[in-house]
Amino acid sequence: MSDSEQWVPPPGSWASSAARRRNMQAIKARDTKPERVIRQLLHAQGFRYRVAARPLADLRRTADIVFRPAKVAVFIDGCYWHGCPEHYVSPKTNPGYWSDKVARNVARDRDTDENLIAAGWLVLRFWEHEPSTTCADKIAAMVIARRAARGNGKG
């Protein structure tokens, strides 16, 4: 396609333009900057964890940070994709599709939480805009508490 031709999305396509499609495909699903910073802070405190792992083998969903023996699953939710009450703004182009997608993400988040809690996991969710040090401190405190409750210092 030449530069003078305009890309037209196929019927039923989620992208409103070729540029929008490229932009949306470039957004990372894991290893975002907030995730990396929180992981670095936890690692510096001596914590070891799994990254982008399934807490439950039969649940096809991954947590951003998983402490298996302590049964703590951490999610760092993006403001746009998870419908942050402070920062989410419905897009101007194709708002029906994107608003529905975010609503499905939120519903899936709640379902994930319910499944993990029912299996004895502690679910910690943070927004990407929350201070990383605050998040890391809360995670560390909860992992330490869960380890103590299990009767050992590991987990």
Write the pLDDT tens digit of every residue in 26-45.
565 678 999 999 999 999 99
Q: How far apart are CA 76 and CA 35, in angstroms?
A: 6
Q: Is the pLDDT of residue 116 over 50?
A: yes
Report how many domains make up the chain.
1
What mean pLDDT, rounded, does the chain reach? 86
Q: At 137, list the tokens.
A: 């401190």
Domain containing residue 84: CATH number: 3.40.960.10
Q: Report if residue 23 sits inside a domain.
A: no
* Stretch 11-37: mean pLDDT: 68
Q: How far apart are CA 91 and CA 13, in angstroms?
A: 16
| Residues recorded for the chain | 155
Q: How far apart are CA 86 and CA 73, in angstroms?
A: 24
Q: Is the pLDDT of residue 12 over 90?
A: no
Q: At 9, list the tokens.
A: 């999305």
Nearest of 105, 98, 90, 83 to residue 14 by alpha carbon? 98
Q: Which domain holds residue 106?
A: 31-149
pLDDT of residue 1: 46
| Higher-confidence position of 5 and 67 | 67
